[in-house]
Chain A
Amino acid sequence: MKPRGRFILIQAGLIAGYGLIIGRALFLMLQDNQKLEKIALQQYRTSVQSEAGRSRILDRKGKELAMDKPVWSLYADPAEVRHPYQTSAVLSKKLKISQKDLRGKLKSNRRFVWIQRRVEASTIEAIRPLQLEGIYVIKENKRYYPQGPLAGHVLGAVGLDSKALGGIELAYDHYLMRHPVSGVYMKDAKGRLYLASTRFAGTHPKGDLYLTIDKGLQFLLEESLERTVRKHAAKGGSAVMLDPATGAVLGLANYPFFNPNHFDEVSLSRWRNRAVTDLYEPGSTFKLVFLAAALEDGALSLNESIDCEGGRLQLPTGNVIHDSKPHGRLTPPEIIKVSSNIGAYKIARRLGPKRMDEWIRAFGFGQRTGIDFPSEAAGIVRPHRGWSMMETATISFGQAVGTTPLQIASFYAAIANDGAQMKPYLVEKVVSPEGDLLYQSRPEILHRPITAKTSQRLKEILKGAVLEGGTGQAAFLAEYPVAGKTGTSQKSEPGLGYLPGRYVATFVGFAPADRPRLVLLVLIDEPSHEQYTGSQVAAPPFKEMMLRALQYVGVPPARGGGLPVMEAHAESMPRFYAERKLKTDGDSFEVPDFKGATLRHVLRAVTHFPVEVEFKGRGVAYQQDPEPGSWIAKGSRIYVAFKPLY
């Protein structure tokens, strides 16, 4: 064949070959072949899932109460484990788990078995260098509570895969939980990822949760509560501290404590936030309900005297009610001061069962306060139509009704707050990682059952109860006027009635009584020594907690005690503090002279202007960039260096 003929033949062959390939490619492309498409996608695309996680829970000042801790989980592909005996021997030592169990897992026919979940970094560091065949790790997050049991009952717990199991963790799960997010990556022939993915964001914004709880207040409540329970060999105890003006829960403690880091090592009963979920008979702390009601209804005068029958009153039904001590004629404030059951009954009797029932419910008893915490108990208040005469009498001094400690604290907070009962709440705000406010709580008035005038009269009566001769004398503070009431109630069980020797001792009150800042309830469950009354057992820790708390929040002493209150004048403060007004012009502003200012003053100055401020050191500012008097634009950065004052 001639060269030209050979060339044409080769050319034709090549064209035919390419034509076939192109034709086949077109055929495959045009055909609706999902199976082939799937195979192709599997070859160069892969889906990678991020680990689940949760946002932080902080106290009202931003201190961490709950956070995620990076951990690793070990799994095995038994098909790849060639020496199960040796591998299990090594792992059992490092992980401190049974070698036999491990060997069983490594000989399994499955392609995936968990070896151990949530392994700490130090253990993984010890295992990694061993390069064990068929053993792999997955990155995970474990919920960690750096404060241990502090506020454990409030926080709740989190299980495997960041799943909320109780408490605030569960109530605000939609803000806290970051579900695993999938991202699609491109991969090469060796399986290496080479293109970053676009991740699919979750549907609900996530953010750090700021509680109303103050870590410092919570600590002092818990410390004092534990000491009191131990001292009286009691079964347990609770303490609730509220801000009466807003309803914010500043501290909420229960003893025995619950450490959410080890939630799986204790029984479920230890998880309960008993101040919110458990009921008790409030005893004499309930007497204020009917005193408030009688004053509000105009059925009682504070000057009149009521015969307390020498401490023994027989009802027409034959039942007898007693006082702990015999009393003659007493005025209503004296009835509260000495906590006379007979006097309290005679006040409540003026209202009658129907009105008593209405007033109980007007103060929110028998219904949930609506606190943002799961499983709140509503309490037990039977309808008045079923009340016997004896039941009417016992209800007047706080028996035959069931309330939570929180309800009682909330009731006294209403007295402290000029009659406005605020809804208790535990979460102040939720802030996204970018600083956006996702949720902000708003104080909400639940009821306004009494007027400010009645509230004022009740405050005066409660102040009397902690003075000499009052049952709450042990709660008296020399530095601050205190208003409060003791309560002692006998515990009962269905079918057994009241149980001898088993009491609940309570003290609830507020301070400073004239301008209340804090409301506190202390409850001690079953003090087992000879002392069991509210005045003996609950009033002393109330006094200690309240004094330390008022000092902690910076309430100056209202009287006596010799505590000095110093006045700070503008001329004695750094110069900047006295002239903190900024000069602005559109989007620009003049950099002030920060020299001599504290960090707080600098922050306060720039708080309404979108600039970044970088700080170094502590104490007072001594250097800054830009210089004072320079004009800078929105988004600029200011550098301020501080040096210690002394």
Chain B
Amino acid sequence: MFNKKLIFLILVLGLALTYAWSRIHVIELGYAVTQLGKEAEQLTRDNGLLKTRLADALATAKLAALAKKHKMSPPDQTRIFFISEETQ
């Protein structure tokens, strides 16, 4: 009889502790997810900033100015070769 009561109490206590642990774990994970979300957002913004810098560096006007600075010019008409692909 005593053993049954003890087992029951241990079982109830165990369940209560498991429930409490799971709640704590969920909250901990919540903090982690929120933190990761923030980091992801920051990285996305950093990535966005880098993309704008890349696009900026590749702007046609800038490339054209650089080409001109390095004494490059559009190819002479006789130096353009048109290759017609055979389709079959």
Contact = CB atoms under 8 A, between A and B. Distances in A.
Chain A bound to chain B: yes
Interface of A: 63-64, 67-70, 121, 139, 144, 146-148, 150, 185-186, 192-196, 215-216, 219, 223, 479, 547-548, 551, 554-557, 561-570
A195 B82 contact: no
B52 A67 contact: yes
A327 B38 CA distance: 79
Contact of B81 (A193, A195, A215, A566): A566
A64 B61 contact: no
Given A147-B61, A548-B74, A563-B77, A556 B30 contact: no
In terms of DSSP, what is the predominant structure of the interface of chain A?
mixed
A359 B71 CA distance: 52
Size class of the B contact interface (CB-based, 8 Å): 20 to 34
Main secondary structure, interface of B, reads: helix
B49 A121 contact: yes
Given A70-B45, A186-B30, A146 B78 contact: no
B44 to A, nearest CB: 8
Nearest to B37: A196
A144 B52 contact: yes
A73 to B, nearest CB: 14
Contacts of B31: 192, 194
B1 interface: no
A479 B77 contact: yes
B84 A568 contact: yes
A195 B30 contact: yes
Nearest to A557: B82
Contacts of A564: 81-82
A563 B82 contact: yes
Contact of B82 (A147, A150, A185, A565): A565
Given A69-B48, A564-B81, A568-B83, A195 B61 contact: no
A556 B61 contact: no
Contact of A219 (B55, B56, B61): B61
A259 B85 CA distance: 40
B51 interface: yes
B34 interface: yes
A430 B46 CA distance: 25
A219 B60 contact: yes
Contacts of B59: 146-148, 150
A144 B52 CA distance: 8
Nearest to B27: A194
A69 B56 CA distance: 11
Contacts of B56: 146
Contact of B60 (A67, A147, A547, A566): A147
Query: Among A194, A547, A551, which residue has the most Cβ atoms of chain B within 10 A?
Result: A194
A556 B81 CA distance: 8
A437 to B, nearest CB: 23
Contacts of B60: 147, 150, 215-216, 219
Contacts of A547: 77
B64 interface: yes
B82 A146 contact: no
A566 B82 contact: yes
B83 A566 contact: yes
7 contacts: A63-B58, A68-B48, A70-B45, A70-B49, A219-B61, A565-B83, A566-B83
Contacts of A139: 45
Contacts of A479: 77
A71 B59 CA distance: 21
Contacts of B88: 570
B64 A219 contact: yes
